[in-house]
Amino acid sequence: MIRSARLTRAFVFAAVTLRAATAIAQTGTLALNDKQYFEARGLNVFVFTNQYNGMFFDEKTAGIEIIQHGMRIATGGAVRLTPTPEQWDQIPKLVDRKVDPATNTITCTMRYEAFDFDSRLVVTPDGAGFKVTVFVDKPVPAALEGRAGLNLEFVPARYWEHTYLIDGKPGIFPRYPAGPTTSLPADKKIRQFEGFSTFDLHGHPDYIETQPLTTGTTLVMAPEDPERRVAIHALSGDLQLLDGRNLAQNGWYVVRTLLATKTTGKVAEWHVEPHTIPNWTRTPVIGFSEVGYHPSQPKRAVIELDANDAALATASLIRIRPDGTEVEAMKAPVQPWGKYLRYNYGVADFSSVKEPGLYVIQYGTQRTGAFPIASDVYEKVWYPTLDVWFPVQMDHMFVNEGYRVWHGAAHLDDAVQAPVNEQHFDAYRTGATTNTPFKPGERIPGLAVGGWFDAGDFDIQGVSHSGTIMSFVAIWEAFHPQRDQTLVDQQLRFVDIHRPDGKPDVLQQIEHGALQIAAQFRAMGRLSRGVVDSHLDTYHHLGDASTQTDNKIYDPSMKPYQTDGIHSGTPDDRWVFVEDSPATSYLGMGALAAASRALRGFNDALATECLTLAKKAYADERARAATAAQANGPEQGFARFAELTAVMQLVLTTKEQPYVDRFNELLWPALDRAPAFTLQTAVRAMPAMDAAYASKLRPYVERYRATLDGMFKQNPYGVPIATGGWAGNGQVIGWATTNYYLHKAFPDLVGTDVVTRGLDYLFGTHPAHNYSFVSAVGNRSKHLAYGNNRADFSFIAGGVVPGVLILKPDFPENMDDWPFLWGENEYVIDTCASYIFLANAAQEAVGK
């Protein structure tokens, strides 16, 4: 089979080259730009502009990456040690990266420390594409012969309903992984990161690798689609096409050539030619709110344009009448905003249109979907988050919705003390002591209650839990939402979605969170960093949460997989990590103090216990701080902010003078150091403080207001857009929420426009595309996200995703056809709770 493929190789390569020659004339070739990546019209090639940072291992945002016609199609181009690398497989360390405009090359030296294996990756434009060459100065180590290869990974979703030709032989990209795989003896497995293992042996000591779907020397992916067509030709060795989804649902298609062995110099070389459409120009993205607008609020459409595109003179707001006829409500000039990252922007302002109704925006030949202008647009936008998303996240409960069970009662075998000196794969760690009264491996009683799955994974995180509880309490105290669409039965561990039980759902969520945090303080006197899987092979669990562990108490006297129905010999009970972190504990105290207010009259016993635990823990922590040599550095700074939050909650709950005094002692220096982080806390304490407090606070608000005035200079959206490895919707929500509190307290200084602007951003006025970032909220919204059902390419209604990630140096991305990038698409509890607050706040601020 391989031989017959080789016979066609010459013919196919000639065809590719011929087409390439035509393409050069039409589109020009790749060239290094001043941002240190290769660029041609419709094509960018990044070479380690983003690196593996090791935090969550292979994040699929490093190595050689291809952006074709505005879409990132490929990542991970590098020497890799397995056919289809998983998230926790070894990643090469970038030792050196040289960008040389004189030779038009980028050269990266990569190292695998564990194998003392260095290689050099050289990328340079070649014809209508580029050449990738791997060099070694020492032969590939014996242990990696037949293992180390040049890999490049392609987003599977971009190739579904597409075909390929390999040496002229046709194939269809598999819509679902269907092999082939092979089972190999455990001693052949290449050690994964830090010795972790993603593979659940389940009593079978072998492991699996994917095998090629096909092999040849010239692969043309999506030859029928000029937007997606990529030709790869191996100048030495064979090309394999593999499907990484056979090992892991977040796997990509991998194109791979094994490195030549027992030799030095050039050990692999490809010519890669992503097709470009001559004079391609990206279709404009019309950013607008998919939820619509309140009549009184600003209504700005932000139009994102290709760098080669200039804004049209006008855009129209068109009203749709009940009989389907249309009328132009306004023709607005498109004001050029300028360049942000890689695109040009224009802004069309429709604020003067206030008549309630349904509208679309017409820009040239493009038209948006319909959206309302109405006085109640924010009234219901938080319902899915409270009604569906939070119930689905409830740990230790059976969660039902109509005919569907989201998950059974999970983690009933919680939890045991984590080992000491443990560096955990989810960024948890312990030092030389457990920081609790418990020995490593000892059961910590009472933890199988309450709590939420933190995110798309299933751990209970102390800090985000505390923030979530405090947000829910703030929601309750500011807006008193009586909404009751969920039954929560703590006795039966049963939750039923869309089934009222006579109790406000917000209070039931506060109770559910408080049950877990109170249990931790009761057992340990402090808050854990988190409760998390003990093994990587359970951590990457997808599916029903109640099958993540066996729900049976671990008994070390039994054999693995042996069980008496209550205990088992499988050590899968979750671990409790407690760090020596006053900050974590302070936030837990704040959550307990807050919960005690909201739960008064709803669950008095728990309310009383929460306050008692909070006051005791606070006194203990202060006593400890007085005697302990305080460490300097970020932990101490963070601890002060966290203590400020705790004391603010204790002030609101107790009004006791020692807390008021301590609050004043902490607040003013913190306001001087970091006003943006502190103002919300300051203004929230106002009800418990005197009039002098408000006037002392006022100059800080005046200075903050100046930063708001400059927002539209930073980007065309006028909100703070984060540039880190996790996208910034949480930050935008926090910013708009601070603005709401300041508006309430100082309406002459801060208006409502900076409250609704945050929601406009979430609901579609943002870079990359214009879906609402809140699943099932708005006319069109994130229909694929990184919830715990991501393997089904689905969403959980009401979840808020992180949003637009800025891939260095200039590529804003939020994949809407591939859910598995957590930095763009993972729902997390604290963001979702703060979103509920902001939606209520916006409705209150402008809705009357």
Site of interaction with Ca ion (CB under 5 A):
413, 426, 454, 457, 459, 484, 486, 501, 503, 505, 549-550, 552, 572-573
Minimal distance, residue 503 CB to Ca ion, in Å: 4
Q: How far is the CB of 570 from Ca ion (least distance, A)?
A: 6
In angstroms, the first-to-last Cα distance of the chain is 73
What are the backbone angles phi and psi of residue 836, rounded to the nearest 5°?
-60, -40
DSSP 334-376: EEEEEEETTEEEEEEE-TT----EEEEEEETTEEPPPEEE-TT
By beta-carbon proximity to Ca ion, the closer residue of 486 and 520 is 486
How would you class 202 by CB atoms within 10 Å of its CB: exposed for 0-12, middle for 13-18, buried for 19 or more? exposed
CA angle 514, 516, 521 (to 5 degrees): 90
Cα 434 from Cα 421, distance rounded (Å)? 9
In the complex, residue closest to Ca ion by CB:
413
Phi-psi region of 800 (alpha: psi -120 to 50; beta: other; left: phi over 0): beta
**Smallest separation (angstroms) from Ca ion to the CB of 828:** 9
Contacts of 272 (CB under 8 A, 6+ apart): 66, 129, 130, 131, 132, 152, 230, 231, 232, 233
Give the closest residue to 277 by CA, choosing from 72, 19, 33: 19
Q: How far is the CB of 501 from Ca ion (least distance, A)?
A: 4
**Between 66 and 836, whose beta carbon lies closer to Ca ion?**
836
Q: Which is nearer to Ca ion, 552 or 757 (CB)?
A: 552
Place of tokens 């393409």: 23
Give min distance, CB of 338 to Ca ion, in A: 39
Q: Least separation, in Å, of the C-beta of 669 and Ca ion?
A: 33
| Alpha-carbon gap, residue 569 to 269, rounded angstroms | 50
Q: How far is the CB of 574 from Ca ion (least distance, A)?
A: 9
Q: Name the residue among 215, 345, 271 with its Cα closest to residue 45.
A: 271
Q: Of 297 and 486, which has the nearer Cβ to Ca ion? A: 486
CB of 469 to Ca ion, least distance (A): 17
Distance between CA atoms of residues 686 and 153, nearest Å? 54
**Distance in Å, CB of 247 to Ca ion, minimum:** 21
Closest to Ca ion by CB, 280 or 406: 406
- Least Å distance, CB 429 to Ca ion, is 13
Q: CA nearest 580: which of 532, 625, 519, 611?
A: 625
Query: Is the torsion defined by CA of 453, 455, 457, 462 positive or negative?
Result: negative
Residue (474 or 495) nearer to Ca ion, CB: 495
Crossing angle, helix 582-599 and helix 634-654, to 10 degrees? 20
Residue 487 beta carbon to Ca ion: minimum distance, rounded to whole angstroms: 6
Instruction: Indicate the residue among 395 and 413 with the shorter CB distance to Ca ion.
Output: 413
Q: How far apart are CA 815 and CA 837, in angstroms?
A: 27
- 3-state helix vs strand vs coil in the chain, percent to 5: 30, 25, 45
Best CA proximity match to 482, nearest among 513, 503, 509, 511:
503
Nearer to Ca ion, 337 or 458 (CB): 458
Whole-angstrom Cα distance, residue 215 to residue 775? 40
Contact (CB, 8 A) for 219 and 152: no
Cis peptide before 727 (omega within 30 of 0): no
Nearer to Ca ion, 88 or 340 (CB): 88
CA distances from 312 to 89, 145, 344, 348, 359 (A): 48, 58, 12, 10, 20
At which residue do the structure tokens 């389940």 appear?
202
Looking at the Cβ atoms of 19 and 443, the one nearer to Ca ion is 443
Whose Cβ is closer to Ca ion: residue 76's or residue 530's? 530
Q: How far is the CB of 402 from Ca ion (least distance, A)?
A: 16
Q: Which is nearer to Ca ion, 435 or 486 (CB)?
A: 486
